[in-house]
């Protein structure tokens, strides 16, 4: 597997965990719009419409990307997600670009290459890059970069091929 994650760190407001003041990190109107679009996309069956809607909120979505039913993208920072051409984002998969912690919050761009498959119920954490042609097994937690063409599985995900 590749390197660790590329994250930007921001301090939490004093005396509060970082999630308490999320609205200082992201405009609440923007998050509301993101929420509506993302939840609509979770359940609509039209893949081409999902791509259009995700692009509207800033996700960089390649051609012929298929977002499976109930897949979930980051509600606070969708503009930090790039998905290459011809990918399959499996059922109930999650792509996160943020982490709210006690003393800080972190953001990191997620870049998914071309021809990548994310298995059902997989989770991709902030700051991860997944190379072209890689496959992520069902239920995997990807907390590190995945090289091109590699199959990863498990919690945390490790190369199995």
Exactly one of 5, 50, 98, 129 is catalytic; name it: 98
Residues 6+ apart with CB under 8 A from 88: 65, 66, 68, 116, 117, 118
Q: Tokens 């059922």, residue?
A: 91
- 45 within 8 A of 64, measured Cβ to Cβ: no
Q: Active-site residue 98, yes or no?
A: yes
HEC string of 49-84? HHHHHHHHCCCEECCCCEECCCCEECCCCHHHEEEC
Torsions phi, psi for 87 (to 5 deg): -95, 155
Tell me the catalytic residues: 98
């Amino acid at each position: 597997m590749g390197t660790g994650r590329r994250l930007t760190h921001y301090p939490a407001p004093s005396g509060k965990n970082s999630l308490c003041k999320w609205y200082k990190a992201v405009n609440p109107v923007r998050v509301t719009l993101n929420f509506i679009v993302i939840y609509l996309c979770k359940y609509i069956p039209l893949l081409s419409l999902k791509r259009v809607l995700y692009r509207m909120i800033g996700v960089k979505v390649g051609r012929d990307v298929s977002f499976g039913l109930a897949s979930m993208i980051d509600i606070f920072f969708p503009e930090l997600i790039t998905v290459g051409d011809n990918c399959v984002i499996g059922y109930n998969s999650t792509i996160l670009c943020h982490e709210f912690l006690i003393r800080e919050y972190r953001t990191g761009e997620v870049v998914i290459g071309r021809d990548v498959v994310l298995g059902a119920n997989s989770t991709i954490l902030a700051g991860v890059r997944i190379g072209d042609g890689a496959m992520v097994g069902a239920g995997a937690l990807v907390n590190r970069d995945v090289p091109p063409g590699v199959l990863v599985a498990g919690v945390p995900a490790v190369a199995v091929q």
